[in-house]
């Protein structure tokens, strides 16, 4: 999927698309959910709504949702504050959101204990990363989205599921970075396989 939208230089994801991606990865109670470019925490809040929609949650289940389910990172100060507020307003009273630049973390430092069951994100596109940032990743490229993709892949547990918004051309590009990244994971192109779903998302029918 290409970037879903842009507002004042910042990318955002329409809620119907967020909902569609959450429904595709089917998060479960007890799993750890992660967004390393969380913005206003739209994916995390939608996942919370998805997991609580059926109701009948025990006190233990609600404690798990509050404390051990949702994790995020955000570089921009304003977006970080909005993410915290958004999660609190949705009922998550102690958000596990860190104010940091995800790409400054060396990929080799991610251990098994740091990995997640589900990753959801719309990483920024079109930016250029400094060479010192590129050194943190085995596939080195200045395009901001590619280091993020490597981070998300490494951050998933074995058998984990991820839903990430990517450029439409990513699945067909023949440059070395695109080819190498495609080899790392089994990819499903939401835009190619779920065209009717996307039509509903952007026409407001979902």
pLDDT for residue 82: 95
* Cα-based angle 94, 18, 5 (whole degrees, multiple of 5): 110
Task: Tell me the whole-structure pTM to 2 decimals.
Answer: 0.79
pLDDT greater than 90 at residue 116 = yes
Is residue 173 within 8 Å of 133, Cβ to Cβ?
Answer: no
Note the CATH number of domain 6-203.
Answer: 3.40.50.150
List of residues 6+ apart from 171 with CB closer than 8 A: 182, 187, 189, 192
pLDDT greater than 80 at residue 186 = no
pLDDT for residue 102: 87
Task: Give the residue, 104 or 175, on which the prediction is more confident.
Answer: 104
pLDDT for residue 105: 85
Four-CA torsion 9, 10, 13, 14, nearest 10 degrees:
-60
Segments in the chain forming alpha helices (H): 15-25, 42-52, 59-67, 77-89, 131-134, 145-155, 176-184, 190-193, 195-203
pLDDT greater than 80 at residue 100 = yes
Whole-number Å distance between alpha carbons of 57 and 65: 10
**Rounded CA Rg of the chain:** 16
pLDDT for residue 131: 67
Task: Give the residue, 102 or 198, on which the prediction is more confident.
Answer: 102
Q: Give tens-digit pLDDT for 122-180.
A: 987 766 656 666 666 667 666 677 788 888 888 999 989 989 887 665 555 655 555 55
pLDDT for residue 134: 60
Q: Give tens-digit pLDDT for 9-55.
A: 344 688 888 999 999 999 999 999 999 999 999 999 999 999 999 88
Whole-number Å distance between alpha carbons of 5 and 124: 11
Whole-number Å distance between alpha carbons of 82 and 75: 12
pLDDT greater than 90 at residue 191 = no
pLDDT for residue 103: 85
List of residues 6+ apart from 147 with CB closer than 8 A: 103, 129, 133, 134, 136, 137, 141
* Cα-based angle 102, 139, 191 (whole degrees, multiple of 5): 75
Whole-number Å distance between alpha carbons of 170 and 191: 12
3-state secondary structure 171-183: HCCCCHHHHHHHH
pLDDT greater than 90 at residue 73 = yes
Task: Give the residue, 124 or 119, on which the prediction is more confident.
Answer: 119
pLDDT greater than 70 at residue 95 = yes
pLDDT greater than 90 at residue 71 = yes
- Domains of the chain: which residue ranges? 6-203
pLDDT for residue 138: 65
């Amino acid at each position: 999927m290409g970037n879903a939208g842009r507002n004042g230089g910042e990318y955002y994801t329409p809620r119907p698309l967020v909902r569609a991606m959450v429904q595709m990865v089917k998060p479960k109670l007890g799993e750890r959910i992660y967004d390393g470019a969380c913005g206003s925490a739209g994916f995390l809040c939608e996942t919370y709504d998805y997991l609580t929609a059926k109701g009948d949650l025990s006190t233990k289940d609600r404690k798990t949702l509050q404390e051990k389910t949702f994790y995020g990172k955000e570089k921009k100060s304003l977006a970080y504050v909005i993410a915290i507020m958004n999660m609190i307003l949705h009922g998550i009273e102690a958000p596990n959101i860190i104010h940091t630049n995800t790409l400054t973390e060396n990929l080799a430092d991610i251990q098994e204990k740091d990995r997640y069951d589900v990753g959801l994100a719309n990483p920024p596109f079109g930016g250029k990363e400094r060479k010192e940032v590129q050194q943190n990743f085995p596939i080195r490229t200045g395009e901001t989205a590619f280091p993020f993709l490597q981070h998300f892949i490494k951050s998933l547990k074995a058998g984990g599921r991820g839903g990430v918004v990517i450029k439409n051309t990513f699945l067909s590009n023949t440059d070395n970075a695109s080819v190498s990244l495609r080899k790392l994971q089994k990819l499903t192109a939401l835009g190619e396989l779920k065209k009717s779903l996307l039509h509903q998302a952007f026409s407001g029918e979902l």
